[in-house]
Structure 1
Amino acid sequence: MVRREDGNWEVTRPGASRASAVAPTQAQAITRGSQILTNDGGGELRIHNTDGQIRDQRTIAPGNDPYPPKG
């Protein structure tokens, strides 16, 4: 999810040309992005800073975590 010029946050799927959802806060966009991934069968949720850099990445089950915890 990335911040738009109007201050809202948009949730997009990789390679998509349009936003799947738009939210006024990043927290709401994270929640909506998690819901979308859960409905799609899981995956990676990438959260961006206001400057576009990835600040966090979360695996939504049953996604494929590239760095699973050991033990």
Structure 2
Amino acid sequence: MSKEEVTKNVWVTTHGDKWAVKIAGSDKVSKVFERKADALEYAKNLAKKEKTELISQKRNGRINLKNSYGHDNPNTPG
């Protein structure tokens, strides 16, 4: 995989007492939400658009969700 093809995963993580969507490798938060469900919906759409992976964390920092929206299976239409 070349540097241009590096996948930038989309993360849902805590941001104080709120939830943030962040792109891996970026120092900035994409968007902040009051509810985790709203952050997940936004992150899911972003991951689908970018054909990458969505990773969500619990408040304690543990990963509790991983969904790939890339082209993992070459036989899958996309």
CA displacement at 1:38 relative to structure 2:
2.3
In percent, how many aligned pairs have the same letter? 21
Q: Distance between the aligned counterparts of 1:65 and 1:25, measured in 2?
A: 30
1:45 aligns with 2:54: yes
Where does residue 55 of structure 1 map in the other structure? 64
Q: Which amino acid aligns with 1:19?
A: V
Alignment partner for residue 13 of structure 2, among 2, 10, 31?
Answer: 2
TM-score (norm 2): 0.71
Backbone CA RMSD of aligned residues: 1.6
Q: 1:65 to 1:24 in 2, by over 3 A?
A: farther
Secondary structure class of the residue paired with 2:27: coil
Which is strand-richer, 1 or 2? 2
Question: 1:24-54 deviations in whole A, cap 9, x for unaligned?
Answer: 11110000001112222x1110010101111
Q: Structure 2: which 5+ residue stretches go unaligned?
A: 1-11, 74-78
TM-score (norm 1): 0.77
Moved over 4 A (4+): none
